[in-house]
Structure 1
Amino acid sequence: MKKFTFFLSIGALASLLWISCANPNPGGGDWKAKADSLQAKLDQYEKDQQQMNTYLTRFDSLDFNFYSHQLWDSLQISHANNIVVTYPDGHQTTGIPTHIDELKPMFVFAPDTKITAHPIKFGVGKYTCVVGEMEGTFSRPMPMGGGKTMPPTGKKFKLQMCTVGEWKDGKMVAETLFWDNAALMKQISQ
């Protein structure tokens, strides 16, 4: 009887093995198609991550090199010609030349202005979000409008700013900027 049970068990095991080999996916469906679909999703994810890394690297160059050193002609590397930029007070400019006109005044009263760090940067899809740390010294008169100026105090400032960028074809087509002007004025005033 023990031999019979042993042979019956071996037979049942062999049958299960044969059935499982004959039908590798007993739950139905095509496991190869599912694997191919997952691979395609992984490939797309890796491609998207590579593109995002390109955008974030380009943004580092934009802030650390082009902005900090006032290399305005180089903005065309990262900005579309008709970029729409929204500033903290809500006004907008369209195009690189008008964007540059908005950036230059900071360097009039604080010519050593520079972006020193990007402590936070990430993105998803066509959007990036970068927090920058801007530093400088109020060392020259600040134009106040109407021919008036504010005398320099020699005080240093450190200000966090945030840029949300929308990208298309490797360039920013829209940029939304955030920083606290009141905090800047508090740091540099008498």
Structure 2
Amino acid sequence: MSEPTTIQAGAAVSMLGITAVQAGATPAEGSDDVYRMIMGNPAETGQGQPLPANLTPEEYANLKTFDEADFEVFSNQRWERFGESHAPDVRVHWPDGHHTDGLDQHIEDSKGLFVWAPDLKVVSHPLRVAKNNLVAVVGTFTGTFSEPMPDGNGGFIPPTGKSFAMNMLTVGVFNRQGTMNEEYVFWDQYSFSQQIGLA
């Protein structure tokens, strides 16, 4: 069987939207409503969804490593364990389009999220797939904008006290050592900004 093309992958995503509309959603309800119909409420999805069936040992190990990285390492800020899931020269692509190189930089960027949302954590992986050395995981992260947020210019954005629950998609490229050489992280930045009171 041949690998799916970009067009086929796009068609699959489009079918999710069509399915949602057939189930009763309309475009006027807004993309967020359709998204929640497809994925469920991010604040209510459970952590315990089973791994897909028929995984190879490599695929199984990579998904288990990813689960551990999100639920145990990241959510509990156990930065000394980040090397268990990320290569020393990992390249991470962020939702705003920039990328960083190296494990140390990824740790510092991750720490920065907890400065303004100390209760940040990944609470579920409602969808997990793997193929050879690739994994794609939909995760849900929650938290509260309860502390001043650095604005990147030496100042701070005052906390709004608003809580958030967001779905994200992470695609990881694993190496033969069982760690990620590359990681792509996606979430809807506008919806996120709305939830924390900045849009």
**TM-based fold match above 0.5:** yes
Gaps of 5+ in 1: 1-45
Aligned residues: 145
Name the amino acid aligned to 2:96.
D
Which one of the candidate residues 170, 181, 186 is aligned to 2:189?
Answer: 181
Q: Which residue of 2 aligns with 1:20?
A: none
Following the alignment from structure 1 to structure 2, what is the Cα–Cα distance between the partners of residues 145 and 82? 24
Which one of the candidate residues 84, 108, 112 is aligned to 2:115?
Answer: 108
Structure holding more strand per residue: 1
Structure holding more helix per residue: 1
Deviations 1:55-100 (A, max 9, x none): 1111110000111011111011111111111111221111100111
Where do 1:47-58 residues align within 5 Å?
49-58=56-65
Q: Which residue of 1 aligns with 2:11?
A: none
Which one of the candidate residues 65, 69, 74 is aligned to 2:72?
Answer: 65
Q: Secondary structure at the match of 2:156?
A: strand
Where do 1:145-184 residues align within 5 Å?
145-169=152-176, 170-184=178-192
Name which structure has the greater RCO, CA cutoff 8 Å, separation 6+: 2
Post-superposition shift, 1:148? 2.1
Post-superposition shift, 1:147? 2.8
TM-score, reference length from structure 1: 0.72
Following the alignment from structure 1 to structure 2, what is the Cα–Cα distance between the partners of residues 92 and 101? 13
TM-score, reference length from structure 2: 0.69
Following the alignment from structure 2 to structure 1, what is the Cα–Cα distance between the partners of residues 159 and 55? 47
Q: Does 1:93 align with 2:127?
A: no
Gaps of 5+ in 2: 1-52
Q: CA RMSD in A?
A: 1.7
Deviations 1:21-68 (A, max 9, x none): xxxxxxxxxxxxxxxxxxxxxxxxx99612111111111100001110
Following the alignment from structure 1 to structure 2, what is the Cα–Cα distance between the partners of residues 77 and 52? 16
Deviations 1:80-128 (A, max 9, x none): 1111111112211111001112212210110000000000001101100
Rg: which structure is higher?
Answer: 1
